[in-house]
Structure 1
């Protein structure tokens, strides 16, 4: 299946930090390339719409602002009152758009595959929050922003979808055109903690 496609990360020329040697690593930055990302718009109050999303992803549609629902295969991010982002747990050739278009036929809905337009960065370590606070205006304190939540914001000049995946790990969905800039500015912000 993969042999018919050629994929290239937008970060092909950027040296990201290696995985931490131990649990005490101050900060690491990695990419989770080639995840399937699908934007869905529709009526969250419609049982048929919610059922179609659940059947396709295995996750409930989050209806509360800035929340995330997850299954073993997908995460579903609330982006707006009628907009969600579906993200696969593992890399694969995108097929969710086709699946949902068929499931949502006849409903007032829109489905768009945006996999090739974004990548996902993972920032982890004891100083990850401090690195993010250098360029993101959100309140990132764990009492305010924790796992199960997401927010659209920016990191310096790059628009991001940010969500904590653990106490010391965060993922950022970044536009492909800003991925190089975001990775380099994150790497620069990490430098003081890696010396």
Structure 2
């Protein structure tokens, strides 16, 4: 009876329940177990369902810069490998004409793209929602820099890589964007397809520190 009803119901009146699934769902139990052990010097958690938009534009175009600032709350950073803070968003420099805009909290998918794309109007710019293809993982603890150095080639000394900066790199075989957020705490943007691998190898590396 239900199927017959759906078949005869006008398309505009049909509703489908959509359940969001974390990119780290397959390792949720492993992450939870790590939290329960309270491992000294290291903690990891996923920050799922963040809005993440790839933006391309020309910083010399006032129309682009003004439209961006009106929506996000700040101008795109011009200095390489830096982060600008907006109204509920962080803007990560990826290149001279490319940025990641990431929400600071879980939001409805596509929310930022729906605001940015029309705001650009005729400006030579683009905003593409890529949130479904990535997730954000936070790590914290006194030994996080040592841990990251095992699979990341960057110089992570706190005098050189600190809050307000970001960098594209790798952790072993996973491509990442690494963001210091204060002290020994980092947020890491990782592709959805690498999320399971990244979390497992991160926890393996953390376990070796404790041995």
Shorter-chain TM-score bucket reads: over 0.9
* Cα displacement string for residues 86-127 of structure 1 (whole angstroms, at most 9, x for unaligned residues): 000000112111111110010101111000000001110001
Please point out which of 94, 100, 109 is paired with 2:125. 109
* Contact 1:56-1:100 within 8 A present in 2 as well: yes
Give the SS at the match of 2:44. Answer: strand
Secondary structure, aligned partner of 1:44: coil
Rg comparison, structure with higher value: 2
Match for residue 152 of structure 1? 168
Query: CA RMSD, aligned part only?
Result: 1.8
Name the counterpart of 1:190.
206
Change (3 A) 1:27 1:67: same
How far is the alpha carbon of 1:142 from its aligned partner? 0.9
**1:129-163 deviation line (CA, Å, top 9, x unaligned):** 11100000000001111111100000000000001
Length, aligned pairs only = 191
SS of corresponding position for 2:25: coil
- TM-score normalised by length of structure 1: 0.92
Unaligned runs of 5+ in 1: none
29, 40, 50: which one pairs with 2:44?
Answer: 29
Higher helix share: 2
Correspondence for 2:88:
73
1:84-103 to 2 correspondence within 5 Å?
84-93=99-108, 94-103=110-119
Shift of 1:72: 4.2
**What is the rounded CA distance, in whole Å, between the counterparts of 1:20 and 1:59 in structure 2?**
40
Aligned pair partner of 1:11 in 21, 24, 38: 24
Cα drift, residue 192 of structure 1 = 2.9
